[in-house]
Amino acid sequence: MDDVIKEVLISEDEIHKRIKELGNEITNDYKGKDLVVIGILKGAVIFMSELVKNIDLPITMDFMSVSSYGKSSISTGEVRIIKDLDFSVEGKDLLIVEDIIDTGLTLNYLSELLEKRGANRVRICTLLDKPERRTVGVRVDYLGFEVPDEFVVGYGLDYAELYRNFPFIGSLKEEVYMNK
């Protein structure tokens, strides 16, 4: 990994410590409620796996896979659903789990969509946030870490489908994407 990582920004220990805190917070906030935790594939998988182990409630889990439409419609923020949820969200309390919020378009679209489908309440939990890059407002209820405006990989986040398995969050060396 030394050949592709410029700098380790957040270590595995720091990530696990923060996830424990988020799990406790979520456990306290949802006591007595039926919570559905919705992971956005594939980036959120590693974060979500660790997070749910730290939520001490009878939750259920579901997954969605989305991709943004081409450049032309980026301003609309519309996203294409590649894999939809398996279960109805009507009347349910939902927690969307995402790897990183960048412009905010994906989560802005998804939370509105799930509200339209009749969810009782939609909240957002993201491992990382790049607030400098935001173009639309998104209310982040649970946040792991803020990161600078750099391309990061690891702990589920990829570059060209690689590096998701790195146990830390690191910035990518420029030559990795220059050589492609």
What are the residues binding ligand 5GP (CB under 6 A)? 43, 98-106, 151-153, 157-159
Which CB atom, from 50 or from 102, has the smaller least distance to ligand 5GP?
Answer: 102
CA 108 to chain centre: 13
Q: What is the rounded end-to-end Cα distance, in angstroms, of the chain?
A: 17
Q: Where are the alpha helices (DSSP H) in the chain?
A: 12-29, 45-53, 105-116, 174-178
CB of 150 to ligand 5GP, least distance (A): 7
CB of 117 to ligand 5GP, least distance (A): 20
Catalytic residue among 102, 141, 149, 158: 102
| Cα–Cα–Cα angle for 123, 113, 72, rounded to 5 degrees | 115
Which CB atom, from 106 or from 111, has the smaller least distance to ligand 5GP?
Answer: 106
Buried b / exposed e over 89-121, threshold 16 CB at 10 Å, is beebbbbbbbbbbbbbbbbbbbbebbeeeebee
User: Cα torsion at 67, 180, 146, 6 (round to 10°)?
Assistant: 160
Does the annotation mark 102 as catalytic? yes
Treating both helix axes as pointing N-terminal to C-terminal, what angle do 12-29 and 45-53 enclose, rounded to 10 degrees? 60
Amino acid sitting at position 61: M
CB of 151 to ligand 5GP, least distance (A): 4
CB of 32 to ligand 5GP, least distance (A): 31
Catalytic residues: 102
